[in-house]
Structure 1
Amino acid sequence: MDQLSSQSGQPAGPLVEVEGLGRVFDLSKRWLNRVLDGSGKVMLVAVDGVSLSVERGGTYALVGESGSGKSTIAKMVVGLLPPTSGRVRIAGADVWAERSVARQRELRRRIQMIFQDPYASLNPRWRVGSIIAEPIKAFGLASDAAAREARVGELLSLVGLDPRDAVKFPHEFSGGQRQRIAIARALASEPEFIVCDEPTSALDVSVQAQVLNLLRDLQQRLGLTYLFISHNLAVVRHMATRVGVLYLGCLVEEAPARELFADPKHPYTKMLLDAVPDIGMEGIERQSIAGEIPNPINPPPGCHFHPRCPYVMPQCRSVVPPLYTVGNAKVLCHLYGAGGAGGIKPPAS
Structure 2
Amino acid sequence: MSDALVRVEGLWRRFDVSKPWLNRVIEREEKQLLTAVAEVNFEIKRGETFALVGESGSGKSTIAKMVVGLLPVSSGTILFDGQPITGTTGVAMRTIRRRFQMIFQDPFASLNPRWRVGDIIAEPIHTFGLAKGAEAANQVGKLLDTVGLSAKDAEKYPHEFSGGQRQRIAIARALSSKPEFIVCDEPTSALDVSVQAQILNLMRDLQDELGLTYLFISHDLSVVRHMATRIGVLYLGRLVEVAEGKTLFRAPQHPYTKMLLDAVPDLAMSGRRRNPVEGEIPNPISPPPGCAFHPRCPRAMDRCKIETPDDYATATGRAACFAVEMEAA
2:248 touches 2:316 (CA, 8 Å); kept in 1? Answer: no
Distance 2:309 2:268 in 1: 34
Partner of 1:183: 171
TM-score, with structure 2 as normaliser: 0.98
Distance 2:265 2:229 in 1: 21
For 2:11, the aligned partner's letter is L
TM-score, with structure 1 as normaliser: 0.92
TM-superposed CA distance for 1:342, in Å, is 4.1
For 1:110, the aligned partner's letter is R
Say which of 92, 95, 99 aligns to 1:103.
92
Identity %: 63
- Work out whether 1:246 is the aligned partner of 2:234: yes
For 2:98, the aligned partner's letter is R
> What's the secondary structure of 2:4's corresponding residue?
coil
TM-superposed CA distance for 1:195, in Å, is 0.2
TM-superposed CA distance for 1:29, in Å, is 1.6
Say which of 152, 156, 178 aligns to 1:164.
152
Which ranges of 4 or more aligned residues in structure 1 deviate by more than 3 Å?
Answer: 340-343
Deviations 1:223-248 (A, max 9, x none): 00000000000000000000000000
Partner of 2:38: 48
- Work out whether 1:32 is the aligned partner of 2:19: no
Deviations 1:235-293 (A, max 9, x none): 00000000000000000000111111110000100111111112224433301231110
Q: Which residues in structure 2 correspond to 1:256-271 (within 5 Å)?
A: 256-271=244-259
For 2:91, the aligned partner's letter is A
Partner of 1:347: none
For 1:66, the aligned partner's letter is S
Say which of 216, 220, 229 aligns to 2:208.
220
For 2:94, the aligned partner's letter is R
Deviations 1:28-71 (A, max 9, x none): 12222212111111110000010100000000000000000000
Deviations 1:87-122 (A, max 9, x none): 1111111112224x3221111101100000000000
Partner of 2:110: 121
Say which of 206, 221, 236 aligns to 2:224.
236
Distance 1:50 1:293 in 2: 18
> What's the secondary structure of 1:87's corresponding residue?
strand
2:124 touches 2:176 (CA, 8 Å); kept in 1? Answer: yes
For 2:222, the aligned partner's letter is A
- Over the aligned positions, Cα root-mean-square deviation in angstroms equals 1.2
Distance 1:293 1:231 in 2: 14
Partner of 2:126: 137
- Segments of structure 2 that go 5 or more residues without pairing to the other structure are none
2:314 touches 2:328 (CA, 8 Å); kept in 1? Answer: no
- Segments of structure 1 that go 5 or more residues without pairing to the other structure are 6-11, 344-349
1:25 touches 1:44 (CA, 8 Å); kept in 2? Answer: yes
Partner of 2:263: 275
Distance 1:229 1:336 in 2: 26
Distance 2:109 2:207 in 1: 25
Say which of 321, 324, 336 aligns to 2:312.
324
Distance 1:260 1:284 in 2: 17
> What's the secondary structure of 1:15's corresponding residue?
strand
Deviations 1:117-148 (A, max 9, x none): 00000000111001001110111101x31001
Partner of 1:8: none
> What's the secondary structure of 1:304's corresponding residue?
coil
- Work out whether 1:304 is the aligned partner of 2:292: yes
Distance 2:34 2:88 in 1: 27
